[in-house]
Structure 1
Amino acid sequence: MHIDMPIHELEKYMGKNPKPADHEHYWERGLSELDELSLQYELVPADFQSNIADCYHLYFTGLGGARVHCKYVKPKNAQPNGPGLVIFHGYSGSSGEWTDKISFAAEGITVLVMDCRGQGGLSEDNLQVQGPTIRGHIIRGLEDANPDHLYYRNVFLDTVQTARILMSMDHVDCNRVGSYGYSQGGALATVCAALEPRIKELVAVYPFLSDYKRVWENMDISNSAYEEISYFFRVCDPNHLREEEIFEKLGYIDIQHLADRIKANTLWVTGLKDNVCPPSTQYAAYNKIKAKKEILLFHEFGHEHLYGLADKAFQMFRSL
């Protein structure tokens, strides 16, 4: 039994949310702005310490002058030209506990985990934007005339800066870096690999932020991670007079429209009973990836713990 499309339809589905005509220019311009930023960072020793790794709070300045926080875990036995891993967290969460990074450090992998601006961690959200937020970050900036003021634009570019900082470290080989995340983190790991072509390995687990119009038109949006779109229309456009315009603007921050840029070896993970980030929205992005890829399906699972997956991802990143 499926909650979305049958698998044979999922395998052909290419998404329905519109892609803005200037989408490529939008992101190339963003990357050009990022090129002007320094890769300098500040390290603050963490209270948490380990016999395996040195742990720090790392801060850098992102676009708009925002102070962005990451957890930085460096193996004590770090070798020159070693591997690295950037990790991204789920919606409204944070970079999490130190202990879940230590297993990677034990394998000689340097880890950098980014806090998204204004969510559950320590990163600053200093975006000044017209229009309401109401509930959630997808719609933050959606009423602003300038699409550069969409909340996720800066967050997407923060993922690139995080990866570039890790790649700039003396003991890290810039061609041996992976990207990893679940849900919102899976979306951000995907974006990072799309906008930073040196990412070698990508593991994206039931990624969020894809194919907004599919969720709106065909799924139970009030029970999904996309429910804030419903709140937006109720408050800002109850008669849907601007529906086409709104979904086209959301196309700037739709990961399916960036997926074809990915060069990393990709493991994509989907639960076929996921009603939070429906399978079709995930396939919309996966089907556009041109790099070497594999999709791992959990048939009886939704948006939840997936048995054995963390071990599989760990083994994949050990090969960096």
Structure 2
Amino acid sequence: MPLIDKPLSELYLYEGRNPKPSDHAAYWERALAEMKAVDPQVELVPSEFQVPFADCFDLYFTGVRGARIYAKYIRPKNVPGPHPAVVQFHGYSGSSGDWQDKLGYAALGFSLFSMDCRGQGGRSEDTGGVKGTTLNGHFIRGLNDDPDNLLFRHIFLDAAQLAGIAMSMPEVDPTRVGAFGGSQGGALTIACAALEPRIKRLAPVFPFLSDYLRVWEMDLAKDAYSELKTFFRHFDPQHKRENDIFTKLGYIDIQHLADRIQGEVLMAVGLSDTVCPPSTQFAAYNKIQAPKQVEIFPDFGHEHLPGFHDKTMQFFIKL
């Protein structure tokens, strides 16, 4: 087996390298208070895409800092009583995608909510100076500003807020809501369940946004993490602020949120992943205190992991 990181036995013991800010808990309590003070002004618009067994809606809500956030909402028809739901998150710079690949959950009697991250490839706004897409450079947005203005703080809050909106729907049983996604979507799955601890089950796949310092030390600040190198080259070329920068990134490092999770976790890791190195993923996984299991794919990287989508669906059926 190719080895691009630590041996598996060491991965299960790895605790992460990126510093955690001393006021991390207070930071996120303040952020959640800001989110809860927002009137979400939820709007449901019937989508042009419809199927016989479910209603499909374009869902809009207002997140922190006034951004209108978009999500696809698929609600099954003819399901008696409140039913389970899942919240889905997409990869970096992408979008919620097409409707058709989400219909399996509706066919099983689940509502499904799939969010567009603000400023990326979908319809959600980024209100940080302009409306519409800003697409790239998101996890370095705010590093030269107050930590409360980090863009991924807002995106993490959007994820938690959407889960809360899903739970508030009269047709949804708030005790049976799950979350899933890969890469950035895996990171948002973890952040969502940490900030909205009523999430009952979560299935993150090779999560991004974890243990930035480890990525840097492995010389893997490329691909999804390339903006980290870009930031240093433009704004700290001699790394005089390196410790402060990585500490500020600690606010939006999912490993430092993972111990807040209360739902059951099914995670997948490819041991040949050079985009989100396995050790960075285990930094988050090892801090989860809730019931958990991880599926290992030794020869796979940041790519489709055969059979894991099926395992994820079976995992959620138990809701």
Measured against aligned partners, the alpha-carbon deviations of 1:159-186 in whole angstroms (never above 9, x if no partner) come to 1110010000001111100010000000
Supply the distance in 2 between the matched residues of 1:125 and 1:153 (Cα, whole angstroms): 13
- The alignment covers a number of residue pairs equal to 315
Q: Which residue of 2 aligns with 1:198?
A: 198
Structure 1 range deviating more: 78-87 or 264-273 = 78-87
1:8 and 2:9 equivalent? yes
Question: What amino acid does structure 1 have at the position aligned with 2:259?
Answer: D
Q: How has the CA–CA distance of structure 1 residues 295 and 219 changed in structure 2, closer, same or farther, with 3 Å as cutoff? A: farther
1:77 is displaced (CA, Å) by 2.0
1:42 and 2:43 equivalent? yes
Q: Which residue of 1 aligns with 2:140?
A: 139
SS of residue matched to 1:221: coil
Q: Which residue of 2 aligns with 1:237?
A: 236
Supply the distance in 2 between the matched residues of 1:143 and 1:110 (Cα, whole angstroms): 40
Q: Which residue of 2 aligns with 1:217?
A: 217
Question: What amino acid does structure 2 have at the position aligned with 1:158?
Answer: D
1:239 is displaced (CA, Å) by 0.3
Q: Which residue of 1 aligns with 2:32?
A: 31
1:51 is displaced (CA, Å) by 1.2
1:217 is displaced (CA, Å) by 1.1
The answer as to whether partners of 1:19 and 1:248 remain within 8 angstroms in 2 is: yes
Question: What amino acid does structure 1 have at the position aligned with 2:118?
Answer: R
Equivalence map 1:103-252=2 (5 Å): 103-128=104-129, 135-144=136-145, 146-222=146-222, 224-252=223-251
Q: How has the CA–CA distance of structure 1 residues 22 and 39 changed in structure 2, closer, same or farther, with 3 Å as cutoff? A: same
Supply the distance in 1 between the matched residues of 2:300 and 2:314 (Cα, whole angstroms): 22
The answer for unaligned runs of 5 or more in structure 2 is: none
1:255 and 2:254 equivalent? yes
Fraction of identical pairs, as percent: 58
The answer as to whether partners of 1:135 and 1:231 remain within 8 angstroms in 2 is: no
1:134 is displaced (CA, Å) by 11
Q: How has the CA–CA distance of structure 1 residues 296 and 138 changed in structure 2, closer, same or farther, with 3 Å as cutoff? A: same
TM-score normalised by length of structure 2: 0.96
Supply the distance in 1 between the matched residues of 2:136 and 2:63 (Cα, whole angstroms): 24
Question: What amino acid does structure 2 have at the position aligned with 1:216?
Answer: W
Question: What amino acid does structure 2 have at the position aligned with 1:34?
Answer: M
Supply the distance in 2 between the matched residues of 1:229 and 1:82 (Cα, whole angstroms): 42
SS of residue matched to 1:228: helix
Question: What amino acid does structure 1 have at the position aligned with 2:123?
Answer: L
1:270 and 2:269 equivalent? yes
Equivalence map 1:20-99=2 (5 Å): 20-99=21-100
Question: What amino acid does structure 2 have at the position aligned with 1:187?
Answer: A
SS of residue matched to 1:225: helix
Q: Which residue of 2 aligns with 1:18?
A: 19
Question: What amino acid does structure 2 have at the position aligned with 1:265?
Answer: E
The CA RMSD over aligned residues, in Å, is 1.3
Supply the distance in 1 between the matched residues of 2:142 and 2:227 (Cα, whole angstroms): 13
Supply the distance in 2 between the matched residues of 1:79 and 1:268 (Cα, whole angstroms): 31
Measured against aligned partners, the alpha-carbon deviations of 1:269-295 in whole angstroms (never above 9, x if no partner) come to 100000000000000000000000001
